[in-house]
């Protein structure tokens, strides 16, 4: 029993802290969402249909002191940029909502 408790304690203490983020497609079109910097495979893209929501797991930014933002981009079926915004920890936290709403025309980055 002691060995199992020790193993659990070591496993729980390893790795980076992460958190769930919800990505909502607030547009009327299907988009591919890219989360550059959030996690290792964030540049592979996530397909979202209109009004669909999916949950992803972010490792960056880790906390309020982490200055590495995650850039979220959404591209439509024609390959046009629909949404682009950089997310600091505070912006991602969004008053503890942990939700990003993809909206047409928000292009604060490239």
Give residue limits of the domains in the chain: 16-107
| Residue scoring higher pLDDT (86 or 37) | 86
16-107 topology per CATH: Immunoglobulin-like (2.60.40)
Confidence (pLDDT) at 16: 58
The tens digit of pLDDT for each residue in 2-17 reads 444 334 343 344 555 7
Residue 20 has pLDDT above 70, yes or no: yes
The tens digit of pLDDT for each residue in 49-92 reads 999 999 988 887 777 887 888 899 999 999 999 999 998 888 88
Confidence (pLDDT) at 79: 96
Confidence (pLDDT) at 15: 56
Q: What angle do CA 68, 99, 39 make, to 5 degrees?
A: 40
């Amino acid at each position: 029993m002691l060995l199992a408790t020790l193993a659990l304690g070591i496993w729980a203490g390893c790795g980076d802290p992460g958190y769930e983020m919800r990505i909502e497609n607030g547009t009327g079109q299907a988009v591919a969402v890219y989360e550059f910097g959030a996690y290792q495979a964030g540049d592979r893209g996530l397909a979202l249909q209109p009004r669909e929501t999916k949950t992803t797991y972010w490792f960056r930014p880790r906390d309020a002191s982490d200055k590495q933002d995650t850039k979220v981009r959404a591209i439509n079926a024609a390959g046009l940029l629909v949404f682009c915004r950089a997310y600091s920890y505070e912006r991602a936290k969004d008053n503890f909502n942990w939700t990003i709403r993809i909206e047409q025309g928000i292009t604060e980055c490239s």
